[in-house]
Structures are given as C-alpha cells and as structure tokens.
Amino acid sequence: MHLYYGQAGFLIGDEAGDVLLEYATALSKRGRSDRVDLRVLGPDGNEETAVLLLNPSTMITVETTRSDLEPPGNDEAVARMRSALEAMEATPVVIPADAGERGSAIDDF
C-alpha cells in the first residue's frame, strides 16, 4: 500500500496500512494520540523507519498499489496497535449520572 502522511509518501504492507488506519480512527474518536514507528520503503526504494504521530487531526491516506516490491516487516508495530485497539474496546465508558438520576435509580431498587 501507499501511505501518505503529510507531504511524505511511503510503501508499506497491506496489513500495516489497514491496522494503522483502524488505530488512527480509534484514537481520534477518543481524543487521544500515540506515536507509531513503522518500517517503510521510502521514495528511493530504501527501507526506512517512519515515525508517525497519530492524533485527532492527523491526515493519513492509504491506497492500494501494484508494486511488486516486498514490503518491510511490521509484525511488532501491528501487534502493538492491535493490542492497543483491543484495550480501547475492552475499556468501558462510564458516564456519571447527575444527583437526581442517582436518587431515582436507588428508589427503583
């Protein structure tokens, strides 16, 4: 996949691109940020490390490519993002009730 982050463009593997977008979306919905280090193929075809800051205003585009180049390995980064996604999904959202609602809920018991 082609990954566009700001003015830079890179080639990454399909799985890394898909998980990166899913993770960026989840972070944005929660108003959070994180740093993600990905192995990429730069414009010159050399393998590099791209350090991405993901936050609610991050602009990322990922698109398919017909490249025959072997994408760099990102198993560790993908596993970390998947783990963070699972933790976000498992964390319950607690919305405090105001004092009036608490009283009526107790009375119903």
Average pLDDT (19-24) is 96
- Grade residue 109 by pLDDT with cuts at 50, 70 and 90: very low
Question: Cβ distance 5 to 62 under 8 Å?
Answer: no
Instruction: Give residue 85's pLDDT.
Output: 95
Average pLDDT (43-49) is 92
How many CB atoms neighbour CB 100 within 10 A? 8
Total structural domains in the chain? Answer: 1
Could you tell me the two tokens for 36? 């993600």
Instruction: Give residue 101's pLDDT.
Output: 57
Instruction: Print the domain residue range for 7.
Output: 2-108
Q: What is the mean pLDDT of the chain?
A: 88
Question: Cβ distance 63 to 2 under 8 Å?
Answer: yes
- Grade residue 90 by pLDDT with cuts at 50, 70 and 90: confident
| Model pTM score | 0.79
